[in-house]
Structure 1
Amino acid sequence: MKAFLGMGLLGSNFVRAMIQKGEQVQIWNRTAAKARALETYGAKAFDDVTEAVKGATTIHVTLKDDDTVNEVLAMAGKGLEPGAIIIDHTTTSAKGAAERTAAWKAKGYTYLHAPVFMGPQNALESTGNMLVSGDQDVISRVEPELSKMTGKVLNLGPEEGKAAGMKLIGNLFLLTLTAGLTDTLSLAKSLGIPSGDVSALFESWNPGATMPARFKRITEGNFKQASWELNMARKDAGLMMDAAKHGETALSLIPVIAAVMDDWIAKGHGNDDWSVIAQDAIS
């Protein structure tokens, strides 16, 4: 028997996928109606989280943050079966994940943090990526269970909390990518260029293909042989901001980047590759 706590978009679709595979799942959500809605698919919903985990050997969790996970697991504690395994898919801090691993082990339970790069549709289709790190014996024991839930389980090694850290790193990239696309569309709007034309540009020219080489240049600290000088990149940033101002649109990311560029130019790096602005991140 399994239990699942947290019936948001991700958790509810994980549950539906489990039921489709013939598994019995007891569920709980703070807003009880969200859990009861899944009874139509065959889940057994409980208003009391303590009752929801009774009889379950594995408890999956998808909640909001560290505090919510701690609060809900504390409430569920009285109903846990001896030796139960808690698998937490919540995006949390690395420190919190490591602390929970130790705290629940001291109580006689196994806690494994397994955050995901998966959307609701991935959860329903059992595709995407799930991250794990920590006790390798624990991971080898639960990996068959996790593999049923996702397309790929990425084992990041024995360091507690590393999976949480890597999830935050990935999410940071997604946030900055979206912010960059927002500025891109804002500049296009200010220039009177339709978004469809921007899309066509990216279909022909894929800037993402340059990322491995850019990442390698940064991590190796190779800034002296410039492919795009910082002075020239800053000039272009100025043109972008001027165009946006003229078109009465707002850029959120580029002005911040321009200010960082100015700092590095003031330090004497104007003729270096523009990626020198990342130097402090690797030194």
Structure 2
Amino acid sequence: MKAFLGMGLLGSNFVRAMIKQGETVQVWNRTASRAQELEKEGAKAFIYAADAVKGATEIHITLKDDASVDEVLKAAEPGLAPGAIIIDHTTTSKEGAIARTRDWKEKGFTYQHAPVFMGPINALESTGYMLISGDEAIITALTPALSKLTGTLINFGEEVGKAAAMKLAGNAFLVCLTVSLKDTLTLSKSLDISLDELLKLFSMWNPGTLISGRLKRMAAPDQSKPSWELNMARKDTQLFLDATQQAGNELVLVPVIAALMDKFINDGFGSHDWTVIGK
């Protein structure tokens, strides 16, 4: 028997996927009606977290943050069966994941952090990516069950908290990417470029293929042999700013990048590869 605490968009679809796979699932949510809605699909809902986890060998959690995870687990603790395994899919701090792994082990339970790069559809269809790290024996034991819930289970080794750190790094990229795309759309609008034209460009030229090479170049000890000089990149950046200003629009991220470029140029790096600003 399994329990799932947290019936948001992600958690509720995880439960639906588990039920389709033949699992018996007990569920709880702070707003009880969200858990109760899943009873018509085969789950059993409970008002109290401690009751939801009774008899369960695996307790999955998808909540908001460190504080909510700690609060809900404290409430559930009286109902935990001896040796129960807690699997937390919440995006949390690295420190929080480390502390919970240690603290629950001292109480006689296994806490395994397994954050995800999955949306609600991924959870329902068991696709996307799930991250994991820590005790290899525990990971080996959990791999068959967790693999059924995701398209790809990525093991980052024995360091407790590494999966939490990797999830935060990935989310940082997604946040910055979204703001970058906002500026790209604003510039396109300023230059009378339609969305269809922009999509045509990116369908033929995929900048995503540049990420690994760009990271390696940024991490290299020497950027003095440029493929694109910082001075030239700064010139183009000014063209972005000028075009949007003339159209009465405003960029968000590009002005910050321009200021950073100016700092490095003033420090004598204008003839270096522009990725020097990543130092």
Superposition TM-score tier, normalisation by shorter sequence? over 0.9
The range that moved more, 245-254 or 71-80, is 245-254
Match in the other structure for 2:217: 217
Local SS of the residue matching 1:16: helix
One-letter amino acid of the counterpart of residue 147, structure 1: S
CA distance in 2, matches of 1:221, 1:181: 29
Measure how far apart 1:110 and its partner are. 0.2
CA distance in 2, matches of 1:123, 1:187: 35
Runs of 4+ in 1 over 2 A off after TM superposition: none
Measure how far apart 1:210 and its partner are. 1.9
What pairs with 1:33-112 in structure 2 (closer than 5 Å)? 33-112=33-112
The range that moved more, 269-278 or 238-247, is 238-247
CA distance in 2, matches of 1:153, 1:209: 22
The range that moved more, 60-69 or 125-134, is 125-134
Match in the other structure for 1:131: 131
Match in the other structure for 1:174: 174
- Superposed CA offset, 1:65-100 (max 9, x none): 000000000010111111100000000000000000
Measure how far apart 1:216 and its partner are. 1.6
What pairs with 1:254-269 in structure 2 (closer than 5 Å)? 254-269=254-269
Match in the other structure for 1:150: 150
Normalising to structure 1: TM-score of the pair? 0.97
CA distance in 2, matches of 1:174, 1:122: 17
CA distance in 1, matches of 2:225, 2:30: 56
Match in the other structure for 1:3: 3
One-letter amino acid of the counterpart of residue 134, structure 2: G
Measure how far apart 1:247 and its partner are. 1.0
Local SS of the residue matching 1:87: strand
Measure how far apart 1:222 and its partner are. 3.6
Unaligned regions of 5+ residues in structure 2, if any?
none
- Superposed CA offset, 1:17-64 (max 9, x none): 000011100000001111111111100011111100111111000000
One-letter amino acid of the counterpart of residue 250, structure 1: E
RMSD of equivalent CA atoms: 0.8
- Superposed CA offset, 1:162-197 (max 9, x none): 000000111111111111111000001111211111
One-letter amino acid of the counterpart of residue 117, structure 1: F
CA distance in 2, matches of 1:61, 1:170: 20
Measure how far apart 1:209 and its partner are. 1.8
Local SS of the residue matching 1:268: helix
CA distance in 1, matches of 2:235, 2:266: 14
CA distance in 2, matches of 1:243, 1:90: 42
CA distance in 1, matches of 2:88, 2:144: 16
One-letter amino acid of the counterpart of residue 264, structure 1: F
One-letter amino acid of the counterpart of residue 225, structure 1: K
Local SS of the residue matching 2:268: coil
Measure how far apart 1:266 and its partner are. 1.1
